[in-house]
Amino acid sequence: MLVLGIESSCDETAAAVVEDACRVRSSAVASQVDIHARFGGVVPELAGRAHVEAILPAITRALDEAGVTLDDLEAIAVGHRPGLVGALLVGVAAAKSLAWTLGVPLIGVDHVQAHLYAGLLGRSEPRWPALGLVVSGGHTTLYRCEAPHRLSRLGSTIDDAVGEAYDKAASTLGLAYPGGPEIDRLAELPGADDRAVDLPISRLAPGSLDLSFSGLKTSLLYAARGVPGGRDRAAPPELTPERVRDLAASFQRAAVKAIMLKLERAFEHVGGTEACPTLLTGGGVTANTRLRRDLAEFAEQRGLDLRLPELRFCVDNAAMIAGLGARRLAEGERSGLDLEAVPVAAC
Ligand code: KG4
Ligand code: ZN
């Protein structure tokens, strides 16, 4: 089955063709990063307008690269939640129009669930149930997954998503937007000292599977720029390139450690590797070098089947939408032409 996926939830306009829910025939992504960079973050109104311009070229590119035409498509899948509503609307309208014109089924897909499906693209079916970890710019959530689309939430961030904390930390350090990849790059430089500053690793209440990154973000701000009105009025060390590198490394250590701690707790909660043999991961922050390394080590020590998405499928893309959509279509699910754009996640 050939499914066209469409994704427009935030600042990437994407289209992809996926065959049999697994084989990625094409994945076109048009990034809006240049539009939003000067504002230091995504401006929703600008994102919506840019999607309108980029959506048809992205679909055309996806079809061309897959070597198919509209008539070959057997269904349309679209990320319809969560996201910026004005951005989601563009993809949803395009998907409905195509499904109606071509007379093929339409399926609305949850973007966060699709991030976990990214690690299944091009791979064999894992053993279920799985533990799911989504770490992105908008979400940081742990799930127990009975199947790719049957998820129950175990815990979630109570404030910032980890990607958002990365981007704000980068802005504190004077790095370009989006700062996650830049902090990662600096933190991995030879000589980077990840113990230069002792930043807090949030644990929350004993046994809690929730996460928190706002304290870490504020501690980095104070380490970089000093405590406003604090008793210790000594100016912080100058933000030299070496200091920025070390602060980036210290931030990365604390952020990744906070995630790994919760993952460990979550595995205890679900009854260990015996009960949950697979670890699904996804979202932009799964591109992070240290997190990938720590996840690989964690999985190896426990004999877990770790599904880390390929780098190109970590950040927002439409292949993950088409893949998950195809899975649900195969089980007989369909959306109507009254499908709505919904700002919040399903679970
Ligand atoms: O999944 P995604 O493309 O969009 C959302 O659904 O939110 O994730 C984007 C986020 C941004 O916050 C970006 O800074 C972060 O992923 N990110 C990274 C890395 N690459 C992207 N964070 C840390 N290290 C990276 N290498
Ligand atoms: Zn995303």
Q: What does the pLDDT look like over 92-145, one tens digit per residue?
A: 999 999 999 999 999 999 999 999 999 999 999 999 999 999 999 999 999 999
Alpha-helix residue ranges (DSSP H) falling in the chain:
33-37, 44-66, 85-102, 111-117, 162-172, 180-187, 214-225, 241-270, 272-275, 289-302, 319-330
Alpha carbon 225 to chain centroid, angstroms: 29
| Residue 60 to residues 27, 69, 166, 171, 325, Cα–Cα distance (Å) | 11, 9, 34, 36, 20
H/E element holding 135?
Answer: strand 130-135
The Å distance, Cα 141 to ligand 1 centre, comes to 14
What does the alpha-carbon distance between residue 98 and residue 292 come to, in Å, rounded to a whole number?
A: 38
Give me the chain's average pLDDT, please: 96
What does the alpha-carbon distance between residue 210 and residue 212 come to, in Å, rounded to a whole number?
A: 7
Is residue 283 lining ligand 1, measured as CB closer than 6 Å? yes
Q: Which of 88, 136, 217 to mutate to test the pocket of ligand 1 (most atoms within 8 A of CB)?
A: 136
Which two three-digit tokens encode residue 133? 């970890």
- Whole-angstrom Cα Rg for the chain: 21
Is residue 282 lining ligand 1, measured as CB closer than 6 Å? no
234 pLDDT more than 80:
no
User: 75-94: per-residue pLDDT in tens?
Assistant: 999 999 999 999 999 999 99
Please provide residue 285's backbone torsions phi and psi, each rounded to the nearest 5 degrees: -75, -10
The Å distance, Cα 233 to ligand 1 centre, comes to 35
The Å distance, Cα 273 to ligand 1 centre, comes to 28
